């Protein structure tokens, strides 16, 4: 036999085996589908569903989506965004609804012209129904009837929590669990519409504007960095602003007043005629993404949402929705300081701590280097670690001389400095420790020598500073008492 003939026969055999393999798979898949169709009251693949309708005593609720990756939206009874969890839960529940029993001798009822024949089963005027539409626009329908009167219509053991159902694609009427009917029978628009108050995407926001109590706060994002531009310019706190955007994006209404309920009296009652605060998120000054006009009463916070309804929001969220200006600012005390280049903490002419190989060593003169046998000082390590991440509770950006005097900056409690590697060409930064804050003894004023800003920080770190002063130097033990 020629080689070419052998090859041809081999390829033919492979093709045949492949056909058998895929053929077997096809028939196996079809068999599984038929088994599922027989087992479940209504059969579909969720990924193929692009629309479904719920009908109950409160109306018809029509859900659609463009693709299986897009969110659901309601198009009836009104057009608005749908509650994604509610929509997906309904599909999941009906998809799992199994046929408990097919009712014998009901084949003719599936196509009966006289709907009164279905009355004994509660299917003449069904209590509820669901219609599933797939991407091929093929519809599957399940009608839900009345509960069973055990032993009256069918024989066999059926759970009391069962109802009659009709799927026109089936051969007989069905008995199914009542749980799905209970899930959809009493639903109203409020159960299906989204409770989400916002619809903007956080990564598209480059401008935040807050107007409240006669003050304006504006933060803008430029070159991927946030900064506050009103009322005073300062670098922004990227983490806080990110959390702030997330707070609005995740904001859920406790209650919705639909457009049909909204009137002038309601608007005035909820203090939305003259909003207490206005928060605007924009991609740019001329491209507003969403504006929240906030009214407040003793019951809650209120705002219009894009579909014209009014959302009620938890009253306790007010400080998070309209925060103080200081929270938008980067309040790091060591802002714009090259921390990696800090090589020395100088407390006095006779007491310093030098950084070497990421450890800190005590030295007693400005020129001394730590000896080889010197043990790293953990107090200095703890002190510096605390300062790396120190954040002020508040800041006074441009204090007057009178304020500096009252803060104790002109006659400080203590002054120490951070010094830098020679190669960095950076000047030492003195830290001036002032008075405790009146009426808030847990805080203290301090100032950096390279900035006019006065910081209000928690005073807990003073004990670490006092510990450094007293390391190996009994003459400095009084410092600890000063700082208590």
pLDDT tens digit string along 250-292? Answer: 999 999 999 999 999 999 999 999 999 999 999 988 899 999 9
CB 393 within 8 A of CB 443: yes
Q: Give the residue, 89 or 115, on which the prediction is more confident.
A: 89
pLDDT-derived band at 484 (thresholds 50, 70, 90) equals low
Predicted TM-score of the model (pTM): 0.77
Question: Would you call 121 exposed, middle or buried from its count of C-beta atoms within 10 A (0-12, 13-18, 19+)?
Answer: buried
Whether the per-residue pLDDT at 202 is higher than 60: the answer is yes
**Alpha-carbon distance 445 to 186, whole Å?**
61
Domain assignments of the chain as residue spans, ordered by start: 1-39, 46-192, 202-328, 339-483
Residue range 184-195: mean pLDDT, rounded: 94
Whether the per-residue pLDDT at 110 is higher than 90: the answer is no
230 forms beta bridges with 218
DSSP annotation of 367 reads S
C-alpha distances (whole Å) from 34 to each of 4, 31, 40 are: 44, 5, 10
**Alpha-carbon distance 81 to 281, whole Å?**
20
**Alpha-carbon distance 445 to 410, whole Å?**
11
Pairing of strands 454-458, 440-448: antiparallel
Whether the per-residue pLDDT at 26 is higher than 50: the answer is no
Residue range 140-146: mean pLDDT, rounded: 95
Enter the tokens of residue 421.
């590697």
Q: How many CB atoms lie within 10 A of CB 278?
A: 16
296 forms beta bridges with 301
**Alpha-carbon distance 340 to 137, whole Å?**
64
Residue range 298-304: mean pLDDT, rounded: 97
Average pLDDT score over the chain: 88
Taking alpha carbons only, the member of 333, 309, 312, 274 closest to residue 453 is 333
Question: Would you call 7 exposed, middle or buried from its count of C-beta atoms within 10 A (0-12, 13-18, 19+)?
Answer: exposed
Residue range 70-94: mean pLDDT, rounded: 94
CA 379, 385, 387, 388: dihedral to nearest 10 degrees?
160
Residue range 36-49: mean pLDDT, rounded: 89
C-alpha distances (whole Å) from 100 to each of 38, 41, 156, 160, 242 are: 11, 9, 11, 12, 51
Query: Residue 105 region, left (φ>0) first, then alpha (ψ -120 to 50), else beta?
Result: left
Taking alpha carbons only, the member of 74, 291, 56, 91 closest to residue 195 is 74
Length of the chain: 484
């Amino acid at each position: 036999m020629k080689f070419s003939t052998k090859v041809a026969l081999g390829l033919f055999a492979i093709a045949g085996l492949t056909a058998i393999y895929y053929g077997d798979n096809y028939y196996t898949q079809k068999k599984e589908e038929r088994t599922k169709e027989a087992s479940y009251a209504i059969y579909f693949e969720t990924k193929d569903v692009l629309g479904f309708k719920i009908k109950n005593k409160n109306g018809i609720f029509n859900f659609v989506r463009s693709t299986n990756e897009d969110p659901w939206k309601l198009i009836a009874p009104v057009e608005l965004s749908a509650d994604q969890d509610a929509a997906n839960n309904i599909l999941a529940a009906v998809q799992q609804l199994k046929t408990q029993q097919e009712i014998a001798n009901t084949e003719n009822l599936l196509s009966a012209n006289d709907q009164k024949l279905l009355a004994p089963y509660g299917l003449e005027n069904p209590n509820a129904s669901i219609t599933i539409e797939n991407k091929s626009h093929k519809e599957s329908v399940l009608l839900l009837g009345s509960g069973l009167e055990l032993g009256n219509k069918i024989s066999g053991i059926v759970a009391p929590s069962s109802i009659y159902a009709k799927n026109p694609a089936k051969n007989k009427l069905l008995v199914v669990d009542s749980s799905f009917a209970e899930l959809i029978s009493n639903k109203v628009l409020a159960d299906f519409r989204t409770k989400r108050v916002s619809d903007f995407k956080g990564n598209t926001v480059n401008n935040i504007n807050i107007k409240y109590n006669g003050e304006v706060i504006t933060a803008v994002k430029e070159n991927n960095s946030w900064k506050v531009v009103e009322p005073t310019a300062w670098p922004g706190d990227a983490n806080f602003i990110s959390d702030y955007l997330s707070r609005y994006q995740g904001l859920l209404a406790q209650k919705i007043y639909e457009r049909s309920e909204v009137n002038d009296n309601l608007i005035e009652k909820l203090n939305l005629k003259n909003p207490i605060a206005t928060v605007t998120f924009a991609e740019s000054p001329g491209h507003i993404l969403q504006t929240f006009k906030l009214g407040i009463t003793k019951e809650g916070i209120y705002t219009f949402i894009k579909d014209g309804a009014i959302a009620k929001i938890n009253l306790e969220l007010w400080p998070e929705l309209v925060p103080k200006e200081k929270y938008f600012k980067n309040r790091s005390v060591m802002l714009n300081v090259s921390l990696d280049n800090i090589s020395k903490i100088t407390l006095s002419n006779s007491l310093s701590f030098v950084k070497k190989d990421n450890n800190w060593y005590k030295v007693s003169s400005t020129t001394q280097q730590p000896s080889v046998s010197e043990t790293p000082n953990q107090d200095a390590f703890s002190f510096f670690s605390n300062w790396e991440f120190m954040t002020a509770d508040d800041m006074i950006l441009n204090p007057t001389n009178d304020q500096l005097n009252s803060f104790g900056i002109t006659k400080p409690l203590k002054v120490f400095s951070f010094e830098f590697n020679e190669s960095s060409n950076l000047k030492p930064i003195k830290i001036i420790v002032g008075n405790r804050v009146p009426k808030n003894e847990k805080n203290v004023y301090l100032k950096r020598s390279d900035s006019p800003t006065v910081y209000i920080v928690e005073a807990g770190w003073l004990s670490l500073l006092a510990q450094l002063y007293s390391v190996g130097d009994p003459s400095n033990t009084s410092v600890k008492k000063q700082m208590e």
